Every structure is written in C-alpha cells, then in structure tokens.
Structure 1
Amino acid sequence: MQILKTHYHPEVKTLDNKSIFTRLATRSIAISGSSILLLYTERYEDYSLPGGGLDIGEDKITGMMRELSEETGAVDIKNIKPFGAYEEYRPWYKPEYDIQHMISYCYTCEVNKELGISRMESYETKNGMKAVWTNIHEAIEHNIKTMATSEKKGMSIERETFLLKLIAESKL
C-alpha cells in the first residue's frame, strides 16, 4: 500500500538509539453522498476516521471491518479498496519503549447509512466518542480550529486532518 505521509511528532528528534514499538492500525473511509462517517470525540474536540489497532496476526481487512463495526455499528460493509497508509513516529509513554511507530492502513468502503449498535471500549465511551455522518469540509474546518485554539487536542488530530483533506481532494 502506498505511504501517503510519514509524520514525526515534534518531540521525536531522532530515531537513533531509540527503542521503537510498531503498532499496525486501520482506518475506514465510508462516504454516502456528501457525508462521511466519522467519530466525534468530546474530550479532544475532534473528528476522526473510525479505526484502531490490529490484533496480533489479524488480517488488515478483517481488522478494518471489526473496528468500523465496533466503533460505529456499521453494517453491510462492502466494496473495500485500499486508499493508502499514514506512517507516524510519536512518543511512547510506557517504560518498555521510547517511540511508537504507527502505520495506519486506510481503506474506502461502503456501509449502510443506517448504523447499528456500536460496541466501543470503555475509554472510548469515557472520552465521549460517538459515530456521526457529517460533511467532510465542516469536519476539516472544525479540526483546524481545534488545532489552533484548543488545549485539549490529542496526538492524532494532525493525522486525521491530513487524511480528511486528502479524501476531500480525491473526490471519492
């Protein structure tokens, strides 16, 4: 899959002599008309693509479908196609490693506009995460404003905003 961007968090000055943990993840791009299926997270005041980490040995497509279904309640997931991968290096705040190297594999897909019941993890619920169909341009503008004005922003907002802009430009 084509690498769309490699991003280094500002705190990651070098990879030399660093212990690096690699995490593989997927992100789903589901568009219906002028709306895109995103997650809004109250804690971070941002929009993001549904997705998350792959289980050990899990196939990327299987993991993408699992994450999309868990986080949004999406059903009838079909017509899955690779979009590209986003690679990032960010600080890791656990003692075993210095840096997390995350590769997010992004796929376009179609889903039923009517969502089923999500099965979010407890931290996702605590963070106020909810699935929403929204206008992609409004989501981009919202994230840009959050990056400029909010102290709450999470580490993933730059990745998410970059991907949303690329999706909007691609005319999917």
Structure 2
Amino acid sequence: MRLLKSTVHPSLNSLDQSSFLRLAARGIVLKGEEILMLYTQRYDDYTLPGGGIDEGENQVEGLIRELAEETGAQNIHNVKAFGMYEEFRPWYKEDFDIVQMRSYCYTCDIDEELGETNLEDYEVKNGMKAVWINVHDAIKHNLDTIKNSDKKGMSIERETFLLSLIRDELLSS
C-alpha cells in the first residue's frame, strides 16, 4: 500500500524512546461530493470512520468491522486500497512514550441505508455520530477548528490531510 504521509508530532524531540505499533483501518465512503464521516462533539471535528485492527484480523476485516460499528454501514463491498498514513505521537500512559500509528485507508461502497451503530463507551461520551457531509465543508470545518479551537484532538491534522487528498484524487476524476 502506498505511503501517503509520515508525520512526527511536534512535541516529540526524538523517536529514540519506548514505543509500540498500533494498526488501524479507515473507510472512505463517497456519494458524489458527500462523504461518510464521524463528527465528534468533544473535539469539534470530522474524522474518517475506522479504528484499531484487532488481534487476528487483517486490514480489510478490521475496516469492515469498524465501519459497521461506528456508522451502521451495511453490505460493505468494492473495497480498494487508497493508502497508508503513518504518525508518531506521544503516548500518555506509563508503559510507552510513543505510539507509532499506521492508518490503512480504503475506499468502499455500502448500502444506502445505515443500520444501528455499536459505539464504544468513550465514543458515546465524546459525542461521536455518523454523518454525511460535503467533502469541502468537512475540510473547511476542520481547518477552522485547527485555527480557532482549543478543543482539537491529535488526529485532526491527519484527517484534514486525508480529506484534502480525497478531494484532490477522488473527486476530480
């Protein structure tokens, strides 16, 4: 899978610290210029649906499970690799200093109607919900959050980069 970007969080002075690898799968679902996103009230941002790949799962299995859990997507099909985004971020628990996260992004199609979600407790507490939004509006909103909000999370730069790449590569064709 092609490497889209590799980033190091600005608070990290060195990657020579204890670290672990986290693998994630993220879904890109488009209907024209509308994209299926997760809006998170806590961070006031839009992110691609997806998350950690479980032990024993491959990337596509993780994508399908996460997409169904977070958005209620049904009949996930026509899955195609888009690219991988790698990031090194601080880890705030005792066991490690750094998390190396690899987000494997895939385009796919789903049925028109979304089913029930199965969000984790923290996702519910953060006010996460699946929404269809115009790609351009999602980019504009995230850029505004980056510029003006103290609520933003660490993933917003990744998500805004991915949205811009989706706009440039998938909407212009």
TM-score by length of 1: 0.98
The Cα offsets for residues 81-115 of structure 1, whole Å up to 9 and x where unpaired, read as 00000000000001111100000000000011211
Q: Structure 2 CA distance, aligned partners of 1:80 and 1:55?
A: 19
Equivalences for residues 12-23 of structure 1 within 5 A:
12-16=12-16, 18-23=17-22
Structure 1 gap segments, 5+ residues each: none
Structure 2 equivalent of residue 126 of structure 1 = 125
Partner residue, 2:115: 116
Which letter does structure 2 place at the counterpart of 1:2?
R
Q: For residues 60-139 of structure 1, what are the structure 2 equivalents within 5 Å?
A: 60-139=59-138
For the 8 Å contact 1:24–1:53, the answer to whether it is kept is yes
- Distance between the aligned counterparts of 1:92 and 1:61, measured in 2? 26
Per-residue CA deviation, residues 6-43 of structure 1 (Å, 9 max, x unaligned), is: 01111111112x11110000100000122100000000
Over the aligned positions, Cα root-mean-square deviation in angstroms equals 0.7
- Name the CA distance, whole Å, in 2 between partners of 1:159 and 1:104: 10
Paired position in structure 2 for 1:24: 23
Per mean C-alpha deviation after superposition, the further-off stretch among 146-155 and 110-119 is 110-119
Q: Identity of counterpart residues, as a percentage?
A: 59
Which residue number in structure 2 is paired with residue 167 of structure 1? 166
CA contact (8 A) 1:19 1:98 kept: yes
1:53 aligns with 2:52: yes
